[in-house]
Amino acid sequence: MKICIVGAGYVGLTSASVLADLGHTVCCVDTNKEKIKSLNLGEVPIYEPGIKELISKNKDNLTFSSNVVNTISKYPVILIAVGTPSLPDGKTDLTYIHSVVDLIAETLTSYKTIITKSTVPPGTNEEIHNRLIQKGIAPELFSVVSNPEFLREGSAIFDMMNADKIVVGMKKNDKKSLPIMKSIYQGLEAPYIMTSLSGAEMIKYTSNAFLATKISFINEIARICDKYEVNIEDVVRGISTDPRISPHFLQSGLGYGGSCFPKDVRSLEHSALEKNITPLILQAIQATNHTQVDFYIDKLSSAFDNLPGKTISVLGIAFKPNTDDTRCSRAVQLIDKLSQLGCKVNTYDPKATLPFIGKANIIQYTTLEQSVTDTDCIIIATEWDEFRQLDWKKIKELMKGNVVLDARNCIDPSSIYELGLDYIGVARS
Ligand SMILES: NC(=O)C1=CN([C@@H]2O[C@H](COP(=O)(O)OP(=O)(O)OC[C@H]3O[C@@H](n4cnc5c(N)ncnc54)[C@H](O)[C@@H]3O)[C@@H](O)[C@H]2O)C=CC1
Ligand SMILES: O=C(O)[C@H]1O[C@H](OP(=O)(O)OP(=O)(O)OC[C@H]2O[C@@H](n3ccc(=O)[nH]c3=O)[C@H](O)[C@@H]2O)[C@H](O)[C@@H](O)[C@@H]1O
**Residue 148 carries which side chain, given as an amino acid letter?**
P
CB 167 near ligand 1, within 6 Å: no
Distance 279 CA to ligand 2 centre (A): 21
Which of 28, 30, 164 is the best mutation target for the ligand 1 pocket, counting ligand atoms within 8 Å of the beta carbon and taking the most? 30
pLDDT of 47 > 80? The answer is yes
pLDDT of 199 > 80? The answer is yes
Element (H, E) at 11: helix 10-21
Residue-level pLDDT at 360: 83
CB 9 near ligand 1, within 6 Å: yes
Nearest-angstrom CA–CA distance, 415 and 223 = 23
Region 247-262: what's the mean pLDDT? 97
CB 188 near ligand 2, within 6 Å: no
pLDDT digits (tens, 9 = 90+) for 275-309: 999 999 999 999 999 999 999 999 999 999 999 99
CB 99 near ligand 1, within 6 Å: yes
Nearest-angstrom CA–CA distance, 337 and 333 = 6
Print the SS3 string covering the chain: CEEEEECCCHHHHHHHHHHHHCCCEEEEECCCHHHHHHHHCCCCCCCCCCHHHHHHHCCCCEEEECCHHHHHHHCCEEEECCCCCECCCCCECCHHHHHHHHHHHHHCCCCEEEEECCCCCCCHHHHHHHHHHHCCCCHHHEEEEECCCCCCCCCHHHHHHCCCCEEEECCCCCCCHHHHHHHHCCCCCCCEEEECHHHHHHHHHHHHHHHHHHHHHHHHHHHHHHHCCCCHHHHHHHHHCCCCCCCCCCCCCCCCCCCCHHHHHHHHHHHHHHCCCCCHHHHHHHHHHHHHHHHHHHHHHCCCCCCCCCEEEEECCCCCCCCCCCCCCHHHHHHHHHHHCCCEEEEECCCCCCCCCCCCCEEECCCHHHHHCCCCEEEECCCCHHHHCCCHHHHHHHCCCCEEEECCCCCCHHHHHCCCCEEECCCCC
Which of 6, 10, 70 is the best mutation target for the ligand 1 pocket, counting ligand atoms within 8 Å of the beta carbon and taking the most? 10
pLDDT of 359 > 90? The answer is no
pLDDT digits (tens, 9 = 90+) for 52-78: 999 999 999 999 999 999 999 999 999
pLDDT digits (tens, 9 = 90+) for 100-138: 999 999 999 999 999 999 999 999 999 999 999 999 999
Distance 153 CA to ligand 1 centre (A): 12
DSSP 421: P
**Residue 70 carries which side chain, given as an amino acid letter?**
N
Q: To the nearest whole number, what is the mean pLDDT of the chain?
A: 97
Q: Residue 346's beta-bridge partner residues?
A: 313, 363
Q: CB atoms < 10 A from the CB of 107, how many?
A: 15
- C-alpha closest to that of 393 among 425, 418, 374, 371: 418
Distance 136 CA to ligand 2 centre (A): 40
- 255 CA closest ligand 2 atom index: 27
Region 217-243: what's the mean pLDDT? 97
- C-alpha closest to that of 349 among 374, 383, 375: 383
Nearest residue (CA) to ligand 2, atom 18: 256
Name the catalytic one among 260, 328, 377, 410: 260
pLDDT of 30 > 90? The answer is yes
pLDDT of 358 > 90? The answer is no
| Rounded CA Rg of the chain | 24
Nearest residue (CA) to ligand 2, atom 3: 260
Nearest residue (CA) to ligand 1, atom 5: 11
The yes-or-no answer on residue 27 being catalytic is no
Nearest residue (CA) to ligand 2, atom 22: 249
- 325 CA closest ligand 2 atom index: 10
CB 3 within 8 A of CB 24: yes
